[in-house]
Every structure is written in structure tokens, then in C-alpha cells.
Structure 1
């Protein structure tokens, strides 16, 4: 059983069903374009929905959101037909893919009648992350493809605090839309809020208990040459010890509903 699970996990990480032609490196030829004159997308409709249905703690009123499902679908269609190109600035690309991931996740929850957990939604190999639900240029991709083929390859581990998987242990869904203008400040805010929240327990500076996110995506946080502890201490209100013994908290996949 463990072997089968490992094979499935490797398949998810390496291939991302429905995402082979969605690749940040090929999209940008490895360049991080900073042209300030590139097209600015309008994320105000998403911002309005977030402020209406998401509280300051990141919990979602899905029942009320359901009444605005048409507005959400209209925004997702706008993103579908306004995908980034090589001429799109790096901050615009980040904002686009973060908002797309979060909006598509909310849409997935609404379309599946607000299950007790996102993991209750079936998908290829039993993985909801592989459901080809996200539309970009009229092609269907999975949430895994957006996260692993694009966002992770953009090289900023703060994306793990910005995207939300509709679960209690996830970083909270910000009730402000990401834009090119607020990207860095909002990602810093998301990182600080998550690291200092009850999703981590930093009270024992010698034996902190961290979110599994720091285990699952360890290489993303350490690729810049820092340790997990050094990364956390950039945002922690009280620094943990450099030689602290780290353990990880159980992950709660229950729906992040109000």
C-alpha cells in the first residue's frame, strides 16, 4: 500500500495531469519580465466577492457565496480569456495565477455542494488536485498543474501562504485580491499571518511544531540557501532557536467555512 501511495504521489509531482503544456519556464523562457507597461488585469470583481464572503480570519461563507456563483464564474471566464503572455510583468503573472488558483478552488467547492472536506471531491487517482477544472485560454488544467508547473517554478515560496486549499489548516484565504501593485506587501502579510497563527506552535522555541506545509515544500523554502528555521524567523514574532528540534502538526482538511 505504501508503495502504491508513493507511486501516486510521484505521478502528481512529476506529471500534473492536464498540465503538460502549462509551464512557467517555457512561457517566459526563464525570464522574469519587469515591464511596467504590460497589461494590467482587473481583479476588482474577485476583490468584491472576497470582501463580501470571506471574514478577516479567512473563513468563507460558502452558502452566501453560492448566491454569487454567476459573478465568480464571470471572473473566472475573464481570467480564462486574459491569460499572461511573455509581455506580462512578473507581478501581474503572480497575481493572475494566485487569484486563479483561489477563485477556482472556491468554484470547485461550490460546484460540489460544499463538502465537509475538499478531499471528499473525487478526481483522477482519487486526487481532487488532478481534476481538470481550471480554464486558461480555453484549455482545462488541474490545480496541481497551476501550483507545481507555474507558481512553484516562479521561485517565491511565499506562494504557499497566498494560495488556499479550502481547508482549516491551510494559510487563510485573504479577503483582498492580489494585484501587481500589492503583491509583495500582501504576500509578506500572508506569510507573517500564517507563521504566527495557530497553524504553527512556536511557543516552545526549542521544540516548535510546524505546519506540514514546511515539510511538504521544504525544498522551496530552503532553495535560497536558508534553513527552514531561518526562513520562519524572518516572519516570526518570537524567533525560534537555530538548533531547535522541529516536529509537524497534523493537517486538518475540514472545510474552511464560517
Structure 2
């Protein structure tokens, strides 16, 4: 009886560990990272943080290998793999914590997500879609202070918990239907303006079809619907109207476009 009880306890413990690992990989937990929230209106500043991260190396790579439409020259990027690795090593050596400002945290996690996404494509040069890479969003491929994080964890367990829905237009999943990869690194000193521009450009792009009476939206709004609700209004239209060049009626029909997971290769 004692052996049976012991076996049951060990099995239960193993299941608990497996469940925790699954939750972390899926992005439900923060994987030990800080999740400071944006309070009120986000402002761009470097003055309120114990750390100001230099993202200039990533900025140079983006300007060199990303075009004005956000499409990526992966073959060119591959020639600069050493520079990309050096940048990733630099980010890995840092230890994000609550002494960092919300601006620094947003810029850090957006940039590390985008940089590791590019790195995954470079490591799998024959793929035609990021979805062909096994476990690309669930495996611990991102290194931060000797901890292994997943891309899904960074998106869902960290960035989405920071009360800033514009992050959905800043992180790039290396796909045609994704928001374009910005040709510059996100920084605390420009974060609000960068997020605002990325959001406005995406909503008014061909990724959405917007008229006064009907809107056909990117599936991003379907995947993360509740992130875009404003106040208690369970509707996407108020958020769309905040950025759209066309005023949409409150009772307009809302549908969603199919998502093109093809590689965003130049």
C-alpha cells in the first residue's frame, strides 16, 4: 500500500511539473520575467529607469536588411549572423527586472522577440513558412540571464500582460500577414511614437479592408480580440476608429481575413 501511495504521489508530482512546463511554453506564465504594466498614457523617456539598453546594433541590422515594406532580406542577414549573435548575446547578459522602466521593458522584449524570430529563420534557411519550424513558439530558444524562454512566453506571458495592445503591431512572426518588421530598433526614448506609427500604418494597410459599414480585419484581431476592447465595450470598432482613416459605424459588420503564413522574404 505504501509503495502504491508513493507511486501515486510521484506520478502526481510529475504531472504537475509537466503541466507547469506546458503553461510556461504556451505563454500563460511570465517565465520569471517582470510584467510591469503601462499606467495611463505611455510616454517615451529614458529618464525613469536604472538601465538604458543600447539597441543600436539591432537598429543597424534592420536598416541594412529590411525594406520600406517591412520585408526581410534573409540571405543578406545571414551574412551578418556574427553581428546578430553578438546582439543576442548582449541581450542575454542583461537581467530585466522591476527597476527597469516600462518603456525599457517594452523595447527590450519587442526587440528580443523580433531578433530571435529572424535568427530562427536563418537557422532554418529552407523553410517557406515559420510554421515549418518545430516548436518555434514553445521551445526555450531565447536566453535571458541563463534562463531559457520561449517566443510564445515572451508574447503571451510578458508583453500581453503589460497593458499595451499596440505590441501586436510591433512583434513580427516572419510571415506575410504579420505587421511589417520596423526598419529600426524599438527604444525607450521613442517607444510611444514607434508603437503609434506601427499601429496606424498596419490598420490602414491592405492587411485590413475598412469601410463605414463593413470591416474585414486581419486575423490578429481575431486571435487577440479581448486585448483590443476599450473599457467595458466588447467591440473592436472603437479601437479601429482610434486609428482608421475611415470612420466605422458602431453597428458595422466585422469579419476576418485569412492569415498568410508565407515567409516575409524580399
Instruction: Report the equivalent of 2:11.
Output: none
Runs (4+) off by over 4 Å: 18-21, 28-32
Matches within 5 A, 1:7-26: 15-17=23-25, 20=29, 22-24=31-33
TM-score, with structure 2 as normaliser: 0.84
Matched, 1:168 2:155: no
Q: Secondary structure at the match of 2:51?
A: coil
Instruction: Report the equivalent of 1:62.
Output: 74
- 1:90-119 CA distances to partner (integer Å, 9 max, x unpaired)? 100000000000000000110111510000
Alpha carbons 1:18, 1:141 under 8 Å: kept: no
TM-score, with structure 1 as normaliser: 0.87
Instruction: Report the equivalent of 1:101.
Output: 113
Q: 1: CA distance between counterparts of 2:38 and 2:265?
A: 39
Q: 2: CA distance between counterparts of 1:28 and 1:55?
A: 32
Q: Secondary structure at the match of 1:208?
A: strand
Please state how far the C-alpha of 1:133 moved relative to its aligned partner.
1.0
Instruction: Report the equivalent of 2:6.
Output: none
Structure 1 counterpart of 2:240, from 232, 236, 245: 232
Matched, 1:115 2:127: yes
Unaligned ranges ≥5, structure 1: 1-10
Please state how far the C-alpha of 1:225 moved relative to its aligned partner.
3.4
Q: 1: CA distance between counterparts of 2:130 and 2:91?
A: 23
Q: Secondary structure at the match of 1:135?
A: strand
Q: How many residues align?
A: 240
Unaligned ranges ≥5, structure 2: 1-18, 40-44
Instruction: Report the equivalent of 1:52.
Output: 64
Greater alpha carbon shift after TM alignment, 52-61 vs 232-241: 232-241
Instruction: Report the equivalent of 1:251.
Output: 259
Matched, 1:85 2:94: no
User: What is the RMSD of the two structures over their aligned residues, measured on CA atoms?
Assistant: 2.2
Alpha carbons 1:23, 1:149 under 8 Å: kept: no
Task: Look at both structures and tell me which one has the larger radius of gyration over its CA atoms.
Answer: 2
Instruction: Report the equivalent of 2:4.
Output: none
Alpha carbons 1:212, 1:249 under 8 Å: kept: yes
Q: 2: CA distance between counterparts of 1:217 and 1:37?
A: 30
Please state how far the C-alpha of 1:224 moved relative to its aligned partner.
3.4
Quick one: structure 1 residues 28 and 200, their matched pair in 2 at CA, closer, same or farther if it must change by over 3 Å? Answer: closer
Q: 2: CA distance between counterparts of 1:54 and 1:94?
A: 21
Q: 2: CA distance between counterparts of 1:43 and 1:52?
A: 15
Quick one: structure 1 residues 78 and 224, their matched pair in 2 at CA, closer, same or farther if it must change by over 3 Å? Answer: farther
Q: 1: CA distance between counterparts of 2:204 and 2:247?
A: 11
Please state how far the C-alpha of 1:205 moved relative to its aligned partner.
2.2
Quick one: structure 1 residues 28 and 133, their matched pair in 2 at CA, closer, same or farther if it must change by over 3 Å? Answer: closer
Q: Secondary structure at the match of 1:246?
A: strand
Q: 2: CA distance between counterparts of 1:224 and 1:45?
A: 39
Structure 1 counterpart of 2:218, from 211, 224, 234: 211
Alpha carbons 1:18, 1:132 under 8 Å: kept: no
Quick one: structure 1 residues 28 and 165, their matched pair in 2 at CA, closer, same or farther if it must change by over 3 Å? Answer: closer
